[in-house]
Amino acid sequence: MSSPHAYVQRQSISSAVQYALLIALIVQIPLASVADKTHKLFIVGFIFLHILALSALRLAHSIGIRNLLLCITYASFIVLSGALWQGDYLAHWFLPVGIVIAVFLFRLQSPLLLLCVVVLFNALFLHAEYQWIQWRADVDESYLKSKGYLNALLMSSCCTFIGVFIRWHLSQFWRAIQSESASRKSALNRVLPECFQAPLPSTQQPKPQHYSPVSVLFFDMRGYTEFAANRDSLAQIQMLDAVYRRFDEICAMYGIERIKTNGDQYIAAAGVPLTYTIEHNNDYSPAVAICLAARQMEVEFRAIANRFGFDSLSRIGIASGKVIAGIIGLFKPCYDLWGLPMLLASRLESNCVAGHINICETTYLSINQQLHCELVGRMELQGLGTRVVYSLTLDR
């Protein structure tokens, strides 16, 4: 795929050549009056045919032959000019120059079309030059035809070589742009879902979007403050990196998006746009997917924490409902969620017994036919009043 920069460049060159040809053709109409009267109407009609061809370039663009038609029209115009002026001004010498123009018109994926255009321009030029050399030799006996042939071959070869040289350099330039664009796209895909990326180059803020049903998970490590106080920063980072890498893998298995991390807190959601491609989609509902992931996270966390000498248990809160996803702020765009499930999952996690998974009533109603849960009871949650809380049974 060619880069947007290369596409805009080709379109600008195409338009410039189109308008230049239109102006040249219109100028040829009054000049046709100096031609032989028996051919004047034919020439004027031929010029109008060229104008119609150029006017049809927008239609040709829709079927992918705009630049090919432009090159054919250019070659035909040069041949027409040569016939109009009967070779007096060597108009056909502009044909090999068209090779250089054609290099800028065609994409990197169209080498065959470009090759056809180069062959067409060279063939027309060499044929026209051959006819002119024959006429010149008939008029002037001292004229050396071999010299004319050599000049024609040199002109054709030089323009072809220049075209190949320019195309090679442009291909290197365009490929570098494509590689950089792909790298930036890949990096951006790891941060933001595609639906929030388009407005970012402009000052327009991406529009927040509603999603439902969504299940949100808040994960927290018991005793992390004490662990961090007695270990150097590198040990903390290594432990967190090992845990969160494994959590990311688990989330990818179930089609869950990691929203963010905050120290020892890991926040994820199911049912929202993803920043990665799932190789194997699953048929789980968001609530079931995030509960299965939560059970696996709890087991994996204990194993990894023990490996780093961190004797800890997790606290997990899960809530389901409707959320708003979007990006706010001026710098460092961050994909985040807002809504009652975010607040409820946070409160359920902070009020959770270590080693357990608290879920809200909405989540329970979504999973109770597939996963076993136990009623914890009614719990007072800060800012949210009294809520019915269930505990997801863990597979030990």
Residue 6 neighbours by CB distance under 10 Å: 20
Given pLDDT bands bounded at 50, 70 and 90, which one contains residue 357? very high
Q: Model's pTM, two decimal places?
A: 0.60
Q: Sign of dihedral through CA atoms 262, 263, 267, 273? A: positive
Which pLDDT tens digit goes with each residue over 209-265? 899 899 999 999 998 988 888 888 888 899 999 999 999 999 999 999 999 999 899
Residue 296 has pLDDT above 90, yes or no: yes
Q: What is the mean pLDDT of residues 52-68?
A: 66
Host H or E run for residue 323: strand 314-327
Which of 249-256's residues contact partners 24+ apart within 8 Å by CB, and which partners? 250/293, 250/296, 250/297, 250/300, 251/293, 252/276, 252/278, 253/282, 253/293, 254/282, 254/284, 254/289, 254/290, 254/292, 254/293, 255/281, 255/282, 255/284, 255/289, 256/217, 256/289, 256/290, 256/293
The CA distance from 118 to 133, in Å, is 22
The residue count for the chain:
396
Q: What pLDDT score does 364 carry?
A: 94
Confidence category of residue 323, pLDDT binned at 50, 70, 90: very high
End-to-end CA distance of the chain: 50
Percent of the chain with pLDDT over 70: 76
Q: How far apart are CA 244 and CA 16, in angstroms?
A: 54
**Peptide bond before residue 96 is cis, with ω within 30 degrees of 0:** no
63: pLDDT strictly greater than 60: no
Q: How confident is the model at residue 396 (pLDDT cuts 50, 70, 90)?
A: very low
Hey, what are 219's tokens? Answer: 């994960």
Residue 29 is predicted with a pLDDT of: 57
3-state secondary structure of 34: helix
For tokens 């949650």, what's the residue?
A: 381
pLDDT in the model for residue 13: 63
> What 8-state DSSP symbol labels residue 175?
H
The runs of H, that is alpha helices, within 308-373 are 340-350, 361-367
How buried is residue 24: exposed, middle or buried, by Cβ count under 10 Å (0-12/13-18/19+)? middle
Lowest mean pLDDT among 21-35, 317-331, 380-394: 21-35
Taking residue 136's Cβ as centre, other Cβ atoms within 10 Å add up to 14
Round to whole Å and give the CA distance between 173 and 156: 26
Q: Average pLDDT over the chain, rounded to whole? A: 81
Q: Which residue type is seen at 313? A: L
User: What are the CA-CA distances from residue 248 to residues 293, 300, 395 (Å)?
Assistant: 10, 12, 20
Query: What per-residue confidence (pLDDT) applies to 2?
Result: 47
Q: What is the mean pLDDT of residues 173-190?
A: 75
The residues, ordered by sequence, that sit 6+ positions from 219 with a Cβ below 8 Å of its Cβ are: 247, 265, 266, 267, 268, 294, 297, 301, 314, 315, 316, 349
Q: Quickly state the pLDDT bin for 81 (edges 50, 70, 90).
A: confident
Give Cβ neighbours of residue 341 (< 8 Å, ≥ 6 apart): 214, 215, 216, 319, 320, 321, 322, 323, 360
**pLDDT on residue 259:** 92
